[in-house]
A and B are shown apart, each in its own frame.
Chain A
């Protein structure tokens, strides 16, 4: 077993262990923090497919996170007010079913990623960063100025949505849902990275000319990666909204894009469990440093600077060393 595998097992165990200990000690707030970490990690796992594997520095992943959030908010708010979303040409009603909401969140963010990717992937480098940022901000301002769904104030959902057989309002049960999804997506993302697609995508990041010379189109690989990436982050957005029972335009803001990127960088760009490490560390810092000082973001900034300057592989790279490419 490599050092990274061992570290991954530890990282995988941290969140459920924390949640279970908190459950035993009757500390629901800690369970909620672990749930938040799992959901933010999921958003990071999504970004990491584009950023880590594909080398696509998207500064607009808040777009997908927000779309997932609003998919939940819109569907659930219609369900709680018993008003259909639309009646003509056909009837669409709201829903409180998490499974349906996740499906809508995934499809909506995948479609958005397809459109945004098709346009922005024609550029590279700093232009790509700026264009993805611009798309994210467009959705942000759109959400602010759309009064039907709360505008600037956002939308509150009074009761968490339903999942068959579980009481989603019970913190430990909702944690189980969020962590279960994270586990499934981690498994899938790990397989993807080692599959044919992952080999070609990661090669396109290292050397696009090489990939073209063997007859593969980098643009297609990147677009598909961007769509998968956006869909995963969108699913995380739907869960995040359900965790808070609240959505607001903040989910679309560039701060959110930046935070998701921070999870990935802190944990280790391109490392499967990087976002898990990054999100857990972020939540930990937020609630330790955040309690000590209002300016905890300054310390976070310093930490980030140190990681970027001295530990390019992030937390995982520092502990486990360089990635083993071949197995």
Chain B
């Protein structure tokens, strides 16, 4: 096995008395989908923020591509190749769908201090933005205002923007939410192929998708990783059944 691309060591984060992240260590290696599951409020989104740079950890380290990025902000981490999607869509809502992916392509390109040539006539950027929309199946929505998209379409646009960044690692926070059965299935197929481009740390509630996709699964409960293993190992794990999957069956 190669060195992990992303390595979290003993991360902690408290909000007042609440320990949202409790001594979390995990890795993401090339070519894999590592799913992060756990009940609501377990600290999954908090952990994603700590990795992406939006939230400073109280202690512990984040190593990315062999480099300690613990003390870097969101921007340098994004530039280093961490491509994140948000659980609650975070897009430029007044822009068209295409403008959002062109913004991503622009971020990746970096030459932002240009004041004269119309960006939407910049073939290289627009082609990259369109290509990303085509990959997630949003090409026919390109000219629509983002605010007019459905919830599920916004999730897909989040993924498309992350694609334009050509990241080394994807951090995806519940990309299936709101997609519906056929949409989830389609995205599952897409992510399955995407792992060859860059590994994915996937937070997801859709268990069918998780069991179909994940090479490894980590279960987070009250901020702690209580188990890590393959889908079969996790399904059989008694503590996981008790803490999480069992409760899910009861619902």
- Do residues A199 and B165 form an inter-chain contact, with CB atoms below 8 A? no
Complexed CA–CA distance, A198 and B94 (Å):
14
Chain A nearest CB, measured from B204 CB (Å): 19
Any chain B CB within 8 A of the CB of A206? Answer: yes
Cβ 8 A contact of B114, one of A197, A211, A213: A197
- Do residues B107 and A214 form an inter-chain contact, with CB atoms below 8 A? yes
Cβ 8 A contact of B78, one of A195, A203, A213, A323: A213
Complexed CA–CA distance, A38 and B94 (Å):
30
Tell me which residues across on chain B come within 8 A of A195, comparing CB atoms: 114-119
Complexed CA–CA distance, A58 and B118 (Å):
27
- Do residues A197 and B115 form an inter-chain contact, with CB atoms below 8 A? yes
Any chain A CB within 8 A of the CB of B19? Answer: no
Cβ 8 A contact of A327, one of B75, B92, B120: B120
Q: Total A-B pairs in contact (CB under 8 Å)?
A: 116
Any chain A CB within 8 A of the CB of B103? Answer: yes
Complexed CA–CA distance, A199 and B114 (Å):
10
Any chain A CB within 8 A of the CB of B106? Answer: yes
Tell me which residues across on chain A come within 8 A of B99, comparing CB atoms: 199, 325-326
Any chain A CB within 8 A of the CB of B112? Answer: yes
Any chain A CB within 8 A of the CB of B43? Answer: no
Any chain A CB within 8 A of the CB of B212? Answer: no
Known A-B contacts A206-B92, A207-B90, A325-B145; the reply to A215 vs B103 at CB < 8 A is: no
Interface residue count on the B side (C-beta < 8 Å): 43
- Do residues A209 and B103 form an inter-chain contact, with CB atoms below 8 A? no
- Do residues B122 and A196 form an inter-chain contact, with CB atoms below 8 A? yes
Chain A nearest CB, measured from B183 CB (Å): 22
Complexed CA–CA distance, A200 and B164 (Å):
15
- Do residues B74 and A325 form an inter-chain contact, with CB atoms below 8 A? no
- Do residues A213 and B90 form an inter-chain contact, with CB atoms below 8 A? yes
Any chain A CB within 8 A of the CB of B180? Answer: no
Tell me which residues across on chain B come within 8 A of A199, comparing CB atoms: 99, 102-103, 106, 119-120
Any chain A CB within 8 A of the CB of B84? Answer: yes
Which of A69-77, A216-224, A248-256 contacts the other chain? A216-224
Tell me which residues across on chain A come within 8 A of B115, comparing CB atoms: 188, 191-192, 195-198
Cβ 8 A contact of A215, one of B110, B118, B119: B110
Any chain A CB within 8 A of the CB of B52? Answer: yes
Tell me which residues across on chain A come within 8 A of B78, comparing CB atoms: 212-215
Complexed CA–CA distance, A309 and B178 (Å):
35
Cβ 8 A contact of B74, one of A188, A200, A212: A212
Per DSSP, are chain A's interface residues mostly helix, strand or loop, or mixed? helix
Chain B nearest CB, measured from A110 CB (Å): 14
Tell me which residues across on chain A come within 8 A of B71, comparing CB atoms: none
- Do residues A216 and B107 form an inter-chain contact, with CB atoms below 8 A? yes
Residues 101-152 of B at the A interface (beta carbon under 8 Å): 102-104, 106-108, 110-120, 122, 125, 143, 145
Known A-B contacts A203-B103, A216-B107; the reply to A210 vs B114 at CB < 8 A is: no
Any chain A CB within 8 A of the CB of B96? Answer: yes
Tell me which residues across on chain A come within 8 A of B185, comparing CB atoms: none
- Do residues B90 and A200 form an inter-chain contact, with CB atoms below 8 A? no
- Do residues A215 and B96 form an inter-chain contact, with CB atoms below 8 A? no
Closest to B144 in A: A326
Chain A nearest CB, measured from B118 CB (Å): 5
- Do residues A214 and B118 form an inter-chain contact, with CB atoms below 8 A? no
Tell me which residues across on chain A come within 8 A of B165, comparing CB atoms: 214-215
- Do residues A224 and B145 form an inter-chain contact, with CB atoms below 8 A? no
Chain A nearest CB, measured from B103 CB (Å): 5
Residue of B98, B103, B122 with most partner-chain A CB within 10 A: B103
Any chain B CB within 8 A of the CB of A194? Answer: yes
- Do residues B119 and A210 form an inter-chain contact, with CB atoms below 8 A? no
- Do residues A210 and B103 form an inter-chain contact, with CB atoms below 8 A? yes
Complexed CA–CA distance, A202 and B96 (Å):
13
Known A-B contacts A194-B118, A196-B117; the reply to A210 vs B92 at CB < 8 A is: yes
Tell me which residues across on chain A come within 8 A of B125, comparing CB atoms: 196
Q: Per-residue CB proximity of A302-327 to B under 8 Å, as 1/0?
A: 00000000000000000000010111
Complexed CA–CA distance, A188 and B117 (Å):
11
- Do residues A191 and B106 form an inter-chain contact, with CB atoms below 8 A? no
Complexed CA–CA distance, A280 and B114 (Å):
31
- Do residues A200 and B94 form an inter-chain contact, with CB atoms below 8 A? no
Complexed CA–CA distance, A320 and B93 (Å):
20
Chain B nearest CB, measured from A222 CB (Å): 12
Complexed CA–CA distance, A43 and B186 (Å):
52
* Listed A/B pairs (8) with beta-carbon separation below 8 Å: A200-B103, A202-B92, A210-B90, A213-B90, A214-B161, A215-B107, A224-B113, A325-B94
A residues within 8 Å of B by Cβ?
188, 191-192, 194-200, 202-203, 206-207, 209-217, 221, 224, 323, 325-327
B residues within 8 Å of A by Cβ?
52, 54, 73-75, 78-79, 84, 86, 90-96, 98-100, 102-104, 106-108, 110-120, 122, 125, 143, 145, 161, 164-165
- Further pairs besides A191-B116, A215-B79: 8, Cβ < 8 Å: A195-B118, A196-B106, A199-B119, A200-B106, A212-B73, A213-B90, A326-B96, A326-B143
- Smallest CB-CB A-B distances: 10 pairs: A214-B107, A215-B78, A326-B96, A215-B79, A206-B92, A212-B74, A215-B107, A203-B92, A196-B114, A194-B118
